[in-house]
Chain A
Amino acid sequence: MTEFPQNAILVVVEARASGELEQAAAGLFGAAAGAGTPVALVLAAPGAGKAAAAEAASLGAVRVLIAETPDPAVLGVPGVDALASAAEQVQPDAILLSHSLDGRDLAGRYAARTRTAVCVDAVGVSRDEEGVVANHSVYGGAYNVTSTATFGPPVITIRQGAVEARAEAQPETSETLSVTPSGKPAARIDSFDEETAVATRPELRGAAKVVAGGRGLASKEQFALVEQLADTLGAAVGASRAAVDAGYIPHAHQVGQTGVSVSSQLYIALGISGAIQHRAGMQTAKTIVAVNKDADAPIFEIADFGVVGDVFKVVPQLISALEARKK
């Protein structure tokens, strides 16, 4: 076995049940390539490792370690065991994971087990004279913060969709990682419904354009207007928490402090008041447009183009104006 690169950044990526890598993988390798040499640890179901390794190489991994979970129904622990073995072999300068639910669990358990420092929810990584540092955007984007570990490789989780950089594809060099199971108690996955619906719209995370609707849409049926405008613009669909709570759309579409943070080129807020917790998730968008009946709605304080008006009048007119230009 050849040596691992001196400045290795260990990127941990999970393959979905279908075999493809998680969505955040490209951004993780992009971030790693900017701070060192990306080496991948691929966590996959039995038989899926080889295909996942090829994808990891195409996204920038110079070396790939494959860990196929012996029992995919065991939640979390096999991944931590694999990460512990991989980190010991690679001796990386930093470990990068997605700030997804599974990524956070893996990072947290590994850090606690090995007494390694964690830097969470980073929007980027870089290197100074002493090592790898993480950049964060905190309190709803009001502050920029830099953090690192006092010593040793920091474990860094990266906010999904935050890194635009991509790494160059590499020829595949992969090997199977041997893992000693820790036998730690774990939860079990009793059943799983994979989201198979073919996405016709862009994903909210990392989308270039987002059209979001709030309580002002007033019903699930009328929320379709948000989807119509999104389709006209080729945009992803977002929502306020009030719209999610009212059942107009599933939680995965919630933008804000306790939902997704977006930094799109365009963000259109329809019937959204612009509560501070909502703004926390979208105020770093390049251009913000708002349509709201209430001239005093806080969303207007940050809108580049604000329309005081009824969404049910303004938006249909906007859609037909845009459709007319397309012809």
Chain B
Amino acid sequence: MKIVVLVKEVPDTYGDRKLSLETGLADRDASEIVIDEICERALELALAYADANQGTDVVVLSLAPDGATATIRKGLAMGAGSAIHICDEALRGADLGLTAETLAAAIRRAGFDLVVAGNASTDGSGGMMPAMVAELLDVPLVSGLSSVEINEGGVSGTRVVESGVQQVSASLPAVISITEALPGPRFPNFKGIMAAKKKPLETLNLADLGVTADDPDTARSIMLAVAEKPPRAAGVKIVDEGDAGEKLANFLIENRLA
């Protein structure tokens, strides 16, 4: 079984994330760049399956600027067998459509039985990449899984939607996305970190994949304007001296909130 895990680099949510007011792009120097937590969970799912099933091939795939090698190596150190890094200046500011086309081309080239992704990234919060990739690869999509069962021929699990809970399944090859209900990642150990240095890491550009960034026949989404909102200021702060509940009640009533 060959499992491709989509891994995205994002600005660390623990820091102050900045957008460039000139280009509208993420300011990569303003914050720490990390693997998105949800992608680490996706990788953990694939690795847990590989642990239990010999002969499973786990490939980490990332479309990211050239500085991303460290995060990709982290995926290898956790236990993935190989990695693909798609890196091309023409992908700077790529919209969802171009990103999906590029990822799908790389997945098709690598070959796959299962593609695992997170349900939504913490920066773009688009949550659409798995669907777009599934459509382009012409395989079933099972999105937003909060529990997953993988076997030789298929994948199944629990999917929470607005109106209730579904049990869903699909035959392989397929694309799935998972939620943060799935277990967090393992830490790479020393052995893993050393082994990662010897594992294959392939770097591809758009020409390798036969993708054109500026195809005039394909509509792209563009940013027209970006503005920063002023941060919120603190108001009154009191220390409870036995009557804070009363005071809070007064505050709510005076402001017509109760």
Q: Are B234 and A147 in contact (CB under 8 A)?
A: no
Kindly state whether residue A170 has any CB partner on chain B within 8 Å: no
Q: What is the CA–CA distance of A252 and B236 in the complex, to the nearest angstrom?
A: 31
Residues of A near B223 (CB, < 8 A) are: 145-147
Kindly state whether residue B207 has any CB partner on chain A within 8 Å: no
Kindly state whether residue A169 has any CB partner on chain B within 8 Å: no
Kindly state whether residue A6 has any CB partner on chain B within 8 Å: no
Residues of A near B52 (CB, < 8 A) are: none
A12 to chain B, nearest CB (A): 14
Q: What is the CA–CA distance of A304 and B128 in the complex, to the nearest angstrom?
A: 36
Known: A115-B218, A118-B221, A190-B168. A314 touches B240 (CB 8 A): yes
Q: Are A317 and B97 in contact (CB under 8 A)?
A: no
Q: What is the CA–CA distance of A308 and B247 in the complex, to the nearest angstrom?
A: 12
Mark out the residues of chain A between 76 and 127 whose CB falls within 8 Å of any chain B CB in the assembled complex: 76, 80, 99-102, 104-109, 111-113, 115-121
Mark out the residues of chain A between 250 and 300 whose CB falls within 8 Å of any chain B CB in the assembled complex: 251-252, 257-258, 265-266, 276-277, 280, 283, 287-289, 291, 295, 300
Among B100, B122, B243, contact of A258 (Cβ-Cβ < 8 Å): B122
B207 to chain A, nearest CB (A): 20
Kindly state whether residue B160 has any CB partner on chain A within 8 Å: yes
Mark out the residues of chain A between 149 and 206 whose CB falls within 8 Å of any chain B CB in the assembled complex: 149-152, 154, 157, 184-195
Kindly state whether residue B255 has any CB partner on chain A within 8 Å: yes
Known: A23-B162, A117-B219, A309-B239. A277 touches B127 (CB 8 A): no
Chain B binding surface SS class: mixed
Residues of B near A252 (CB, < 8 A) are: 160
Chain A binding surface SS class: mixed
Among B126, B219, B232, B246, contact of A317 (Cβ-Cβ < 8 Å): B246
Q: Are A315 and B142 in contact (CB under 8 A)?
A: no
Q: Are A304 and B224 in contact (CB under 8 A)?
A: no
Known: A115-B219, A149-B222, A191-B166. A108 touches B135 (CB 8 A): yes
Mark out the residues of chain B between 201 and 248 whose CB falls within 8 Å of any chain A CB in the assembled complex: 217-229, 231-240, 243-248
Kindly state whether residue A144 has any CB partner on chain B within 8 Å: yes
B112 to chain A, nearest CB (A): 14
A257 to chain B, nearest CB (A): 6
Q: Are B221 and A148 in contact (CB under 8 A)?
A: yes
Number of residues from B at the complex interface, CB < 8 A: 92
Q: Are A112 and B100 in contact (CB under 8 A)?
A: yes
Kindly state whether residue A246 has any CB partner on chain B within 8 Å: no
Q: What is the CA–CA distance of A54 and B161 in the complex, to the nearest angstrom?
A: 24
Q: Are A112 and B132 in contact (CB under 8 A)?
A: yes
A190 to chain B, nearest CB (A): 5
Residues of A near B164 (CB, < 8 A) are: 17, 192-195
Residues of A near B217 (CB, < 8 A) are: 115
Residues of A near B143 (CB, < 8 A) are: 101, 104-105
Q: Are B245 and A145 in contact (CB under 8 A)?
A: no
Q: Are A308 and B237 in contact (CB under 8 A)?
A: yes
A-side interface residues toward B, CB under 8 Å? 16-18, 22-23, 75-76, 80, 99-102, 104-109, 111-113, 115-121, 133, 138-152, 154, 157, 184-195, 209, 233, 241, 251-252, 257-258, 265-266, 276-277, 280, 283, 287-289, 291, 295, 300-310, 313-322, 325
B-side interface residues toward A, CB under 8 Å? 13-15, 17-19, 24, 38, 95-97, 100-101, 119-120, 122-136, 138-144, 146, 156, 159-171, 174, 179-181, 217-229, 231-240, 243-249, 251-253, 255, 257-258
Interchain residue pairs with CB less than 8 A apart (7): A16-B163, A104-B126, A112-B100, A143-B228, A193-B165, A295-B237, A317-B243
Which 9 A-B pairs give the minimum distances between C-beta atoms? A317-B245, A309-B240, A108-B131, A321-B249, A108-B128, A187-B170, A304-B235, A318-B245, A306-B237
